[in-house]
Amino acid sequence: MSEPILRVRGLTTTFGDGALHAVRDVSFDVMPGEVLGLVGESGSGKSVTLRSLLRLLPAGGRVAGSVCWHGRDVLAMNEAELRGVRGGEISMIFQEPMTALNPVLPIRVQIEENLRAHTKLDGRGRRARARELMDLVGIPDAARRLDEFPHQFSGGMRQRAMIAIALASDPKLLLADEPTTALDVTIQDQILKLILELRDELAMSVVFVTHDLGVVSATCDRMAVMYAGRIVEEGAVADVFACPRHAYTHGLLGSVPQAGAERSMLLSIEGTPPGLARIPEGCAFNPRCDFATDICRRTRPRLAEMSPGHHAACHNAGAVAAAGSPVRRAMRDG
C-alpha cells in the first residue's frame, strides 16, 4: 500500500484564547489520487478543519497538532515555507467564488499572479499556460474570457475560473470547501465531474468538504463524518453507506429522502447540532441519539477500527450496525 501524502494527527483548533474548540483531536490520512470527503452539518468543524490544514484561520484561531505534508509539518513552517505550500503544492477552492475572486482584476491577471508565484514561467509562458488552464477547466472561448472580470461570469463559470487559478501551480492536493453548494444541480454536476476528471488527469488528491451526502456518494472514495468538532466515523464511502457504525451517520443517511420510500416518515434526528460552547458530556451526540445508553452520557467513545479501514467512535456501534443501513433498506424496498 502506498504512503499517504498528507498525515493529519491530533489537529485541534481553538478560538478566543482556547475557550472554543472548533476542531478537537482530528486525525486522518489522504492517499495519493484519492478524494476524501469531510461530511458534517453546520458547526461540525469540517470547514475549520480544512482551513486549519493551511493555517488559513480568522484572527484568534490557533491550531495545534501536526499536519505532515511530504515529511514536513505545515503547522511548524515559517511564513516563507508556508507560502510555498499554500496555493502551490496545496491549493484551495471555496464555496462562494464571487467573494473568493478579486472583483477588480480580470481573470487573466489572477491566474498569472498564481503562475508567477509558483512557477518559473516567463511572461509569454504564463500567458500560454493561462489559456491552457481555461481550456482545461472547460471555459469556452478562453482567449476572450481571460480578459473579463469575475462579475461577467456566471456562477458555474466563476467556479471553473477559481479552479483554473487553483490549478495554476500544479498542486498535488486540492482542498475544496463546499465548492458546489451555491450552484444549481446541473451545474453542480458539471463541476463535480470536472473535479473528478482533473483528479485523474493531474494525479491530484482532493479533500472535499460538503454537507451533501449525495455529493459524497457521487464523488468521494473515502469519507470522514464530523460532529461537534470530532471525526465520529471514517471509512470507504461504499462501506460507510452500506453499514454505518455511528448512530449519527446512521441518522444522517436516514434523513436523506430516497427513492422508493416516498411520503414515508424520514428517519430524522431530533434536536439541533450543539453550539461550540455547549458540547454535551460523554458522546457529544448522546442527547439526540436513539441508541444512547448510560455509558454514552458519561464517557466519550474513542475512534476504533470496526472492520479493515472503517473506524467509528460509538459505544453502541454493534447495535447501530445491526439496525442496518437506511440506504440499503430503501434500496431493497424500492
Q: Which is nearer to other proteins, 73 or 197 (CB)?
A: 197
Q: Report, in Å, the least distance between residue 35 CB and other proteins.
A: 12
Q: Report, in Å, the least distance between residue 90 CB and other proteins.
A: 25
Instruction: Return residues touching other proteins (CB under 8 A).
Output: 41-42, 154, 156-157, 184-190, 192-194, 196-197, 211-215, 217-219, 237-238, 241, 251-259, 261-263, 265-270, 272-273, 288, 327, 331
Q: Which is nearer to other proteins, 115 or 213 (CB)?
A: 213
Find the radius of gyration of the CA atoms of the chain.
21
Q: Which is nearer to other proteins, 42 or 78 (CB)?
A: 42
Q: Report, in Å, the least distance between residue 64 CB and other proteins.
A: 28
Q: Report, in Å, the least distance between residue 217 CB and other proteins.
A: 5
Q: Which is nearer to other proteins, 27 or 181 (CB)?
A: 181
Q: Report, in Å, the least distance between residue 324 CB and other proteins.
A: 15
Q: Which is nearer to other proteins, 211 or 297 (CB)?
A: 211
